[in-house]
């Protein structure tokens, strides 16, 4: 579980690649995320990741994000070239900015080595 340096209100949990049925539970004193891992519908384990105290909302599963969800997570970026400013999104893997928030989110996931990230906002 890691808060994002550019936006500490957003926490990312990197779950195993085979995690399924991900649920956020916020109606208890200690919020938590549950998920299933296993090979089939009858053969799986339910695992739990406890969160620090707070009131969380699920933004998205990183690999299934929409452009709007990605915009909530990544930083907008501007760059001056030949006296004109172009706007895009931060490329966390280095290099020029990206054109879309989804490209920026993909670079954030790659740069951190996350396999199955879940993004949560502490509201």
DSSP string for residues in 14-36: E--TT-EEEEEE-SSSS-EEEEE
Cα-based distances in Å from 52 to 28, 33, 87, 111:
12, 11, 35, 25
Q: How far from chain centre, in Å, is Cα 105?
A: 8
Of the given ranges (54-58, 62-66, 67-71, 81-85), which has the lowest mean pLDDT? 81-85
Strands 76-81 and 84-89, bridge-based pairing: antiparallel
Instruction: Pull the structure tokens for residue 51.
Output: 């969160």
Q: What is the pLDDT of residue 29?
A: 78
Alpha-helical segments (H) within the chain: 67-73, 101-112
DSSP category for residue 112: H
Residue with tokens 């296993």: 38
Rg of the Cα atoms in the chain: 16
Q: Which residues contact 42 (CB under 8 A, 6 or more apart)?
A: none
Tens digit of each residue's pLDDT (9 = 90 or more) over 75-121: 997 777 777 777 899 999 988 889 999 999 999 999 999 999 999 99
């Amino acid at each position: 579980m890691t808060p994002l340096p550019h936006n500490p209100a957003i926490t990312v949990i990197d779950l195993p690649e085979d995690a399924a049925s991900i649920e956020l539970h916020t109606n208890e004193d200690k919020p938590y995320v549950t998920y299933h891992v296993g090979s089939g519908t009858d053969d799986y384990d339910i695992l739990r990741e406890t969160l620090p105290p707070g009131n969380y909302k699920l933004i998205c599963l990183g690999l299934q994000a929409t452009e709007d969800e990605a915009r909530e997570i990544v930083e907008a970026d501007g760059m001056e070239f030949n006296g004109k400013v172009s706007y895009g999104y931060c490329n966390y893997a280095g290099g020029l900015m990206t054109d879309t928030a989804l490209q920026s989110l993909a670079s954030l996931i790659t740069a951190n080595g996350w396999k199955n990230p879940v993004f949560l906002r502490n509201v």
